[in-house]
Every structure is written in C-alpha cells, then in structure tokens.
Chain A
Amino acid sequence: MDFDLMITSLPKLLSASLITLKLLSASLIAGIVLGLLFAILRLSKNIVINQFAYGYSYVFRGTPLLVQIFIIYFGLGQIEYLRSTFLWVILKEPYWCAIIAFALNTGAYTSEILRSAFQTIKPGIIEAGKSLGISSKIIFYKIQIPIAIRQSLPAYGNEIILMMKGTSLASTVTLMDLTGVAKYIISTTFKPIEVFIVAGGIYLFMTFLIHNLIKYLEKKYSFQ
C-alpha cells in the first residue's frame, strides 16, 4: 500500500469530483424538464405523440450511454450543415456534448418513472378535485404533478445514483472528471488499487449523501 500516493492524489481527485458534480447537476436539471415533458406526452391520447414519446424512451434506455455520447460528440460533428450553425459552438465542446447525452439519457429514464407515477395516482383523488369544481388544468398542475413527484422519489433517487455513475463516461470524451483523473493517475503510477480506494471512496461518499438526501425528502413530503 502506497499511502503517500493516496494522500497526494486526494486533492487532485477532489477537485476533479467538482466537474463530476457539475456534469451531474446540469444533466439532472435538463433531464427532469425532458422527463416531465415526455411523461406528459406519453399520457396523451394522440397515438403519434404517444408513440413518439415511447420511441424516445425506448431508444435511450435500450442503448448504452457510451454509444449515445459517441454519436453526439464524434457523429454530429460530421454533418457539414451543423458546423455552419450556431449549434456548433456547443457541439464542439466535449463538456456540452456530455451534458446533452446525459440529459437525454436520464430524461428517458425519468419520463418512465414519472409516467408510472402518474398512472398509479388513485382516480379518487382526481374525482375529488373535480367534484370540488377545480378546473382540470389546475388539478393537473396542483394535484397530479406534486403527487407524482412524491410517488417517484425513491425510484428517482436510484436514477440520480445511476446518473452519477454515468458521468464517469465523460472521461471517454477527454473530460477530466473524477474517473478521468483517476485513470490518468493509475496509468502514470501503475498503482490501481490505491487510486481505486480513494476515487471509489469519493464516489461512495457522494452516493451516501444522495441516498440520505432522498430519504430526507421522502420523509418530509410523506402523506402521513
């Protein structure tokens, strides 16, 4: 065991974990918006809209995240037309490509989580709202959405943790996140176990924090 290496690599890995957190929070925020949008589209009675939303979640859940990042980072740059538009400013940066891929990926999972939450809301709650003369728009925004979000908290907590692990793939498109820096240190020192313990410890600590945050929110917003 090389304890010196563990101590000297800790600050580097900690500052790299800030990038991991940035990637995670940016993609989660965009992913929630996408997820809510597509969950609502999934519930639509129009078959075209419905199937479009289903196709989105099917494709992004059925393919590895790595493929999605590579298509966006390496693939889209190939289209000549895109290079001349303002989108190119975003798409040439690996940072934004990674966030776009993560957001689309977590958006697909989030839409499934929210959809099943919407579908498990008891019809009695909506009927109660209707009989009180509340308009269906307000029922949706003030009753259905808050209940669905509460219902989906445990599953969404798992999704946050999966996404945090997913951000490690940013290292494959040259970003120096926690895994990227860990790999760099391993390949220069050839001490994989020490670096794994430190980097893995940081990841586990983040998992622990997320887990407890979700538990706290679940308790705070419980119905009882």
Chain B
Amino acid sequence: MELLYFGDKGWGDELVTATFMTIVVSITAMFIGFFFALIFTPLKLSKNKFLNFFSNSYTTVIRGVPELLVIYLFFFGGSGAIMYVASIFGYKDYIEINAFLTGSFSIGIISGAYSTEVFRGAIQSIDKGQFEAAKVLGVNKFTQFYKIILPQMLRLAIPNLSNVWQITLKDTSLISVTGLVEIMRQSYIAAGSTRDPLFFYSFAAVLYLMLTYISMKLINRLEVKYSRGH
C-alpha cells in the first residue's frame, strides 16, 4: 500500500495525474472523432459516388487495421508530414509535435470511423416522413439537419456512442507507446522502478474499470434525459 502514497514516497499522486491525462486524452479524441464523423457522415449518405467511396474507404481502412499500426503511422509520420507542409511555406527547421497531439489525433481518427458508422445508422433509422415534412414546410437543408434530424438522431445514437466511448477510452492505453504519460505509461514507469509490475498493472486495470463504470453510469443518465417523451 505504501506504493500508493502521495508525494515522494509513493506513486499515488503520479497515478492520479495520469488518470486525468487518460480522461483528457479520451475526451479530446472523442471530440476529434465527432468532428470527423460530422464531415464523413453526410459524405457517406450523399448520392455522389466519389464522395461515397472516399468516406467508405476511411471507415473501412480504419476499422480493418490495428489501432497500434495507425498510432505508429502518426507517431513516426506526423512530424515528417508537418515539416513537409512547413517546408512549402519556407520553414526548414525541425518540428516536433508533442505526444498529446499525436495521441489524441490518432485515437480521434479511429473513434471518428466508429462514430461515423453510428451516426449513419442513426440517421437512416429516422422516419422518412421527418425529412419530407421539413421539406414541405420549406425548411432549408442546414436547419433541417441541425434542428430536426440531429436532435432525433442523438437519442438513437447514444447507446451506440457509449460503446464508441468505451472503445476510445481503452484505446488510449495504446498511446503509451508514444511516451505520453497516461495510466499505462505511468504504471510502466512505476513498475520499472519498484520492480513490482503485478501490483501496478493490476492497479491500472482497477483504474480503467473505475473509469468505464463511472462513464456507464453517466451515459445511462444522458440516455434517460434524451429519451424523454418516448
């Protein structure tokens, strides 16, 4: 138990910080994912074959390739790509992007592919009459999407989005390979310096279980809130 003391003696405070890092990375990645999903869902539903193909290949590739490989792509390729873009504008120095950005971006792209599928499914299960009614009333496409379709879609999407959140939360453990100090990385450091891997990895498992449990409870509340009147 002394291993969990706060301050210099134990790893308690480090692990608390690391847990917050995991939460922050997961939330950032989830929002980056939403951003991608908001772009790719309309493309997926559009009638244009090229746009369709484009967004289908995004979701197929990301969901068919291991998360770790995607992380390695951005970890090793990220700064190279940014330096290439910068060199076009005449900036020649070495640019290093930090582990937080690489991590949340790569996990965000992965979670975005799952969110896209969830949004697509939710939109497709909305009654067609809703679209037609909006059209008849002369509501323009933008208002139709944001004021009529989106609120209805969210209710249908929340159960599946909660799965995406669980996947995203667990995927953040993989960012530890890039050196970002979240739960997994901190446990690795602590296990290395105390030679007590069993304790620290088990404790990491408990932390993750706690996070998944708490988020389940919170999401259930959201679900109740959004299904009022149904």
Picked from A75, A169, A187, the residue with its CB within 8 Å of the CB of B68 is A169
Name 30 A/B residue pairs within 8 A (Cβ), A-sorted. A58-B209, A59-B209, A62-B166, A62-B209, A63-B212, A64-B174, A66-B184, A67-B173, A71-B197, A71-B202, A75-B198, A75-B202, A78-B197, A79-B198, A165-B64, A165-B65, A171-B68, A179-B68, A179-B69, A182-B72, A187-B76, A192-B72, A192-B76, A192-B77, A192-B80, A193-B73, A193-B77, A196-B77, A200-B61, A204-B65
Contacts of B63 in A (CB 8 A): 161
B209 near A203 with CB under 8 A, answer no
User: Digit string of A78-104 for contact with B (CB within 8 Å is 1, else 0)?
Assistant: 110000000000000000000000000
User: Digit string of A117-140 for contact with B (CB within 8 Å is 1, else 0)?
Assistant: 000000000000000000000000
Say yes or no: is A152 at the interface (Cβ < 8 Å to chain B): no
Say yes or no: is A9 at the interface (Cβ < 8 Å to chain B): no
B76 near A190 with CB under 8 A, answer yes
Contacts of A56 in B (CB 8 A): none
B67 near A63 with CB under 8 A, answer no
Say yes or no: is A150 at the interface (Cβ < 8 Å to chain B): no
Closest to A180 in B: B68
User: CA A65 – CA B201 in complex, angstroms?
Assistant: 12
Interface residues of A (CB under 8 A from B): 58-59, 62-68, 70-71, 74-76, 78-79, 161, 164-169, 171-172, 179, 182-183, 186-187, 190, 192-193, 196, 199-200, 203-204, 207-208
Measured CB to CB, the closest approach of chain B to A162, in angstroms, equals 9
Closest to B67 in A: A165
Contacts of A169 in B (CB 8 A): 68, 174
8 smallest beta-carbon distances between A and B, as pairs = A168-B66, A75-B198, A192-B77, A64-B173, A74-B197, A207-B64, A192-B76, A64-B170
Say yes or no: is B191 at the interface (Cβ < 8 Å to chain A): yes
User: CA A62 – CA B72 in complex, angstroms?
Assistant: 24
B69 near A67 with CB under 8 A, answer no
Contacts of B130 in A (CB 8 A): none
Contacts of A208 in B (CB 8 A): 64
B198 near A62 with CB under 8 A, answer no
User: CA A78 – CA B204 in complex, angstroms?
Assistant: 17
How many residues of B are in contact with the other chain, CB < 8 A?
A: 38
Picked from A62, A68, A192, the residue with its CB within 8 Å of the CB of B213 is A62
Picked from B177, B196, B208, B213, the residue with its CB within 8 Å of the CB of A67 is B208
Measured CB to CB, the closest approach of chain B to A14, in angstroms, equals 15
Say yes or no: is B17 at the interface (Cβ < 8 Å to chain A): no
Per the 8 Å Cβ criterion, residues 58-90 of B in contact with A are 60-61, 63-69, 72-73, 76-77, 80
With A75-B201, A75-B202, A192-B77: A179-B208 Cβ-Cβ less than 8 Å:
no
Measured CB to CB, the closest approach of chain B to A20, in angstroms, equals 9
Contacts of A192 in B (CB 8 A): 72-73, 76-77, 80
A196 near B205 with CB under 8 A, answer no
Closest to A200 in B: B65
With A63-B170, A66-B176, A78-B198: A196-B68 Cβ-Cβ less than 8 Å:
no
Measured CB to CB, the closest approach of chain B to A72, in angstroms, equals 9
User: CA A58 – CA B72 in complex, angstroms?
Assistant: 29
Measured CB to CB, the closest approach of chain B to A49, in angstroms, equals 21
Closest to A172 in B: B177
With A179-B69, A203-B64: A63-B208 Cβ-Cβ less than 8 Å:
yes
With A66-B173, A74-B201, A182-B69: A204-B184 Cβ-Cβ less than 8 Å:
no
| 12 additional contacts (CB under 8 A) given A64-B174, A67-B184 | A59-B205, A62-B213, A63-B212, A67-B173, A70-B197, A166-B66, A168-B66, A169-B68, A187-B76, A192-B76, A192-B77, A203-B66
